[in-house]
Amino acid sequence: LAQKYGFTVQQIEVPHPGNEQQSQWLTIRRANPGFVVLRGWGVMNPVALKTAVKVGYPVDHIIGNVWSNSEEDVIPAGDAAKGYTAITTQASGNTYPVVQEIVKTVYGAGKGNLEDKSRIGSVYHNLGIVNGILNVEAIRIAQEKFGHRTLTGDEVRWGFEHLKLDPAKVEALGAKDLFHSINVSWDNHEGEGYVTFQQWDGKKWNVVSDWIAPDWALLRPIIEKSAEAYAAEKGIKLRTAADADAVAATN
C-alpha cells in the first residue's frame, strides 16, 4: 500500500498486554505521522488513546482495526477517546429493523440472557446479530439443497460457501446499513469484505464513511501466496472447486 500510494510506514511494537506505552507514543509524537493505525487488543486500546492525549498526539488521527472498534476500547479511555475512528464490518446502533424486532420479540417477552440492556446496539451485540443472520441463512441455503433435516458438517459448509446476500436481500432481512452484503464462495470465505468507518463522540459510535470494498487486486495475491506457503509447510492439500462441490454430488 505504501508503494502504491506513496506514503511511508513505521512499525512500532507494543509488548503485550500494552498497559504501558509512554515510550512508544513519545516516539510517535517526535515522528509526527499523518495518521496512526492502531492494531490493538484489550487493555492496549484505551491505554493507547489516553497516552496519545497525554503526549499531545491528536486522537482523531488514530484509526483502529477491527480488534480496536468496540465500546470496551473507548469507554475506559473517557474523554481521551472522543474523535477516535475505527474500522468495522457492521454498524452499531439499535435503529435497524432486525434489532428492533429482536428487542420486541425476545427481550420484550422476557426471553434471552442479556442482563445489561444498554448493550443492545453495541458493536459486539450487533456483530452477534449479523453472525446469527449468516448462520441461519447458510443453513437455509443448505437445507434447500439437501433437504429440510439435520445436516452434516460438510453440508453446512456447502451452505456457507454458497451464501449470497446482496444489498436487496440484506434489506429484506431488516439489516439495511447494519452490514453491506456478503458473497461467499469455496475459495473466498471473506465474502467481499465491505467495511465502514465509525467515530466515537464520547457516548456512541457514528458512521462516517460509505461502505468500502478492499483492494482485492492488491490483496488477493498476497493472501494466496501466504496460504499456499502454509499449506506446503503443513502438508495440507489445496482445495479445488471440484472438492468443494463433491459434497453436493454425494448427497
CB atoms within 10 A of CB 211: 17
Q: Report phi then psi at 85, rounded to 5.
A: -120, 145
List the beta bridge partners of residue 182. Answer: 165
pTM: 0.91
pLDDT in tens, the chain (251 residues): 999 999 999 999 999 999 999 999 999 999 999 999 999 999 999 999 999 999 999 999 999 999 999 999 999 999 999 999 999 999 999 999 999 999 999 999 999 999 999 999 999 999 999 999 999 999 999 999 999 999 999 999 999 999 999 999 999 999 999 999 999 999 999 888 999 999 999 999 999 999 999 999 999 999 999 999 999 999 999 999 898 888 776 76
**CB contact set of 234 (below 8 Å; sequence gap of 6+):** none
Interior angle at CA 124, CA 222 and CA 120, nearest 5: 155
**CB contact set of 163 (below 8 Å; sequence gap of 6+):** 134, 137, 138, 141, 182, 183, 184, 191
8 vs 10: CA distance, rounded Å: 7
Tell me the residue ranges of DSSP E strands in 39-177: 62-64, 85-88, 164-165
